[in-house]
Amino acid sequence: MRVCVLRGDGIGPEVVESALEVLKKVCQIFNFDLELVEGIIGGQSIDKFGEPITEETLKLCKSSNAVLLGAVGGPKWDDLPTDRRPEKGLLRIRKELNLFANLRPVKVFEGLISSSPLKEEVVRGTDLVVVRELSSGIYYGEPRGIFTKNGIKYGINTMYYSEEEIRRVVRVAFKLAQRRRKKLTSVDKANVLEVSKLWRDVVNSERENFKDVEVEHLYVDNCSMQLIRRPSSFDVIVTGNIFGDILSDEAGVISGSLGMLPSASVGERYALYEPVHGSAPDIAGKGIANPIGTILSVALMMEYSFGFEPAKKLIEDAVDETLKEGYRTPDIYSRGDKEVGTKEMTQKILQKVEKLING
């Protein structure tokens, strides 16, 4: 299997290196052939090539089975024109690889349950995935902009979805639910938005092809409340771009730290894996970044790109066991925990991988 590695900016190179150590160990254990190729993206690419991503890097991504990405951006590049900022590299790679569905798993590990802002009895057992449509909706719709009419300024954005754009992401969510607990929650605002009415119609049409999956519809405001009241009752949540943007961050807080969360952006052919957190330039190079979100992104890669659930489970179990023993990077540290840095946390997880596989 060929993985294109894009280390990114800030803490990106540090946490990606940790994830690669775990990936190499797991591939060794299960006798997977692993080929790593490296590209450059974001601020580092701007500094070297004058653009946030090059054609050469895009070619490497397209010739690989999966892409592992560190976060991009930082204040060093904030004053650049919008079309040259690091984040444009990420937007372009999503477009070039046609990555239309973003998967955000949220799993509350028993060893970190006390870090959740919710009561333990509410949050225990939470294991859900938010599937967010990534390439259309209000963030991309036209017309858009700010204009003046009769001396008054107006702002306009357009929420726009075609039937097929909805159908393809809904299918991803249904197939995911089939592999999990067979429950799908579709989130919309069909009581006031015509776009959401179409969304709901497409979901109801597709459910005929997935009759083993239970389907519920929730309005986005109700879903945001239910995520706090009963997070463990959700399995797979599918929704549009703007609703998914908000709900996935809300769900992410349930786990206790954004530094814990992985994500996958998938299309018909390609997939990109990255942690949810940003580049955190204020702690870059200090050796204290939490590598778990990136390590769990590798676990997602093993399941979704390479179809090997045992490797995913091994990594997740190793993380859980490490957390149960009290090891914490500063972002999830509480009094009485064992505070460790990036490298030591990685080594503790690798040791658990070895212990779990050897019994």
The active-site residue, picked from 189, 312, 348, 352, is 189
Residues in the chain: 359
The active-site residue, picked from 188, 245, 331, 352, is 245
The active-site residue, picked from 76, 139, 333, 343, is 139
Q: What DSSP state is assigned to residue 41?
A: B
Closest CA to 113 of 125, 101, 102, 104: 125
The active-site residue, picked from 24, 219, 249, 313, is 249
The active-site residue, picked from 47, 78, 201, 221, is 221
For 301, the token pair is 């890669």
**Residue type, position 343, single letter:** K
Q: What DSSP state is assigned to residue 280?
A: -
Q: Is 207 exposed, middle or buried (0-12, 13-18, 19+ CB in 10 A)?
A: middle
Tell me whether residue 245 is one of the annotated catalytic residues: yes
Spacing of C-alpha 50 from chain mean position: 28
Tell me whether residue 139 is one of the annotated catalytic residues: yes
Closest CA to 231 of 302, 301, 127, 319: 127
The full DSSP string for 313-337 is: HHHHHHHHHHHHTTEE-GGG--TTS
Asked whether the bond before 52 is cis by omega within 30 degrees of 0, the reply is no
Give the span between the Cα atoms of 37 and 255, in whole angstroms: 32
Tell me whether residue 161 is one of the annotated catalytic residues: no
The full DSSP string for 207-234 is: GGG-TTSEEEEEEHHHHHHHHHH-GGG-
Paired with 80 in beta bridges are none
Percent composition of the chain: helix, strand, coil (DSSP 3-state, to 5)? 50, 20, 30
Give the span between the Cα atoms of 83 and 168, in whole angstroms: 29
Tell me whether residue 189 is one of the annotated catalytic residues: yes
Residues catalogued as catalytic = 139, 189, 221, 245, 249
